[in-house]
Amino acid sequence: MQTMLHITTLHYLVLGAALFLLGVIGVLTRRNVVIVLMSIELILNAVNLNLVAFSHYWQGIPARFGGGPLALHGQIFSIFVITDAAAEAAVGLGILIAFFRNKETVNIDEVNLLKW
Amino acid sequence: MVIGGIMVITRKNPVHSALALIATLLAQASVYLMLYAPFVAGVQVILYAGGIMVLFLFVIMLVSIDRSMKERTFNSQRVVGVIAATALGGLFIAVYVNGKNIFPEGVPAIVEGDNTQNVASLLYGQYMFSFEIASLLLLVAIIGAVVMAKKRI
């Protein structure tokens, strides 16, 4: 019963799933492109949270099973994901500025040049 | 953190959404500290809350928000979107309920030690090639952003 009071890996995974769902709802329902990009950031953060939680979980595994205090691969992966998020945000906002210069709007429903 | 996420996707003003996203990112940095990952927490604060959010706020100021304030907040597929997200949440719940036995319920170990040093030795040792690829990706992103934001190519 005592372990019920502690925060296990599963709690972090549930938190990550909640953030992921919020990001998905934001991507699917908002009309402002800036907020859609922010929701993508939320999704990437949820993935990061899962990676770091699993990294912490692996650190509790004995070293002969591949764990141990040096098993920090999840944190390395999360750093790479943060790098990708930075690149994605820069390119996405550049595209947004180019689009705004052409059509004077940030409404995602008017991004329909490829639609017929 | 979840409250911050809800605020991000429900506020009408994009500036309010950005501020809520900053609160969410800072809360997530504190969660990283709880998970004994101080280096990732520092990177989160500096790069996300410092760098990316400044970029977002800059673009929000650059594009006019007056017109989008008057329009509807959500688009026409909002009902379908919420239903699809709910289905995805049901999938998550099913996976977690079924996979609960995979994780032993023990508390993860409290790891003390040189986290930043170990991260650095992994990053510059085993993951050296990925690190260089990431720098190449950042170079491509810089060039792409400049080309996209240029007035006349």
Residue A59's CATH number = 1.10.287.3510
The reply to whether residue B56 touches residue A26, judged by beta carbons under 8 angstroms, is no
Cα(B71)–Cα(A108) distance, integer angstroms:
12
DSSP B47: I
Decide if A35 is inside a domain. Answer: yes
What pLDDT does residue A3 have? 47
What pLDDT does residue A5 have? 58
Could you read off the pLDDT of A14-71 as tens digits, one per residue?
Answer: 888 888 988 888 888 887 888 888 889 989 999 999 998 888 888 777 767 666 667 7
- At the second CATH level, the architecture of B1-75 is Up-down Bundle (1.20)
Could you read off the pLDDT of B105-139 as tens digits, one per residue?
Answer: 555 566 666 778 888 888 888 888 989 999 999 99
Contacts of A21 (CB under 8 A, 6+ apart): B85, B88, B89, B92
Cα(B127)–Cα(B135) distance, integer angstroms:
13
Cα(B122)–Cα(B42) distance, integer angstroms:
17
Instruction: Yes or no: say if A74 and B35 are a contact pair by the CB < 8 Å rule.
Output: no
The reply to whether residue B59 touches residue A93, judged by beta carbons under 8 angstroms, is yes
pTM of the model: 0.84
Instruction: Yes or no: say if A82 and B47 are a contact pair by the CB < 8 Å rule.
Output: yes
Comparison of pLDDT for B7 and B96, the residue scoring more: B96
Decide if A10 is inside a domain. Answer: yes
Decide if A109 is inside a domain. Answer: no
Nearest residue in B to A33, CA atom: B14
Could you read off the pLDDT of A82-111 as tens digits, one per residue?
Answer: 999 999 988 888 888 888 887 777 777 777
In percent, the amount of chain B with pLDDT more than 70 equals 78
Nearest residue in B to A21, CA atom: B85
